[in-house]
Amino acid sequence: MIKPFFLSQKTADAMQRTQAGKAGYILLWLLGVPIPILFLIYLLRGCS
């Protein structure tokens, strides 16, 4: 069965946001932010 276009687009958008979020945390880590601080930010933002 073929999925409707809007479902696949919604999935693609979610994946792009997830990848952008990961890149942001990696960038912060590379800039020297300690991992426990990054973990606290992750928890405070709702684990999303």
pLDDT, one tens digit per residue, over 14-40 is 666 666 677 888 898 999 999 999 999
**2 is written with which tokens?**
């073929």
What's the confidence (pLDDT) of residue 45? 84
Burial class (CB in 10 A: 0-12, 13-18, 19+), 25: middle
> Which pTM does this prediction carry?
0.56
Give the separation between CA 9 and CA 7, rounded to whole angstroms.
5
Judged against a pLDDT cut of 60, whether residue 41 lies above it is answered with yes
Please tell me which residue, 33 or 4, carries the higher pLDDT value: 33
What's the confidence (pLDDT) of residue 19? 67
Long-range contact set of residues 17-24: C-beta below 8 Å, sequence gap at least 24:
21/48
What's the confidence (pLDDT) of residue 31? 94
